Amino acid sequence: MCCIIIIHIKLKDFFMPAANNIPARRESLNLRIKPAERDLIDRAAKARGKNRTEFVLEAARAAAEEALIEQRIFRMDSDDYQLFLNRLDQPPAPNSALRKTMQTPAPWEQKK
């Protein structure tokens, strides 16, 4: 089954759900790259005050986050789809941010 769904999420929860549980160990990522592309990356990294690894990792992470944010089609079986619909039908748990949002006039309702 395929459906189109737009979801509002907190970015930090979406991209780093278990950030506190991740060990400090780092993995390596090897790439084949043309010398001209490597030189371009090195120049850009230097312009930003970063080394090549920092620059490439930052750019790759930003591109990955953007790709996931723009995802609009989620494929799921009918059981998962029903669970998802049930979740959407549940009212949000009251909290101070929700109360503030509900009490604040929308920008088009505010008097100038």
In tens, the pLDDT along 75-104 reads 889 999 999 899 989 988 889 988 898 889
pLDDT at 107: 84
pLDDT at 7: 47
Mean pLDDT for the chain?
82
- HEC profile of the chain: CEEECCCCCCHHHHHCCCHHHCCCCCCCCCCCCCHHHHHHHHHHHHHCCCCHHHHHHHHHHHHHHHHHHCCCEEECCHHHHHHHHHHHHCCCCCCHHHHHHHHCCCCCCCCC
Question: Full-prediction pTM beyond 0.85?
Answer: no
Task: Give the residue extent of every domain in the chain.
Answer: 2-16+29-88
In tens, the pLDDT along 37-46 reads 999 999 999 9
pLDDT at 35: 94
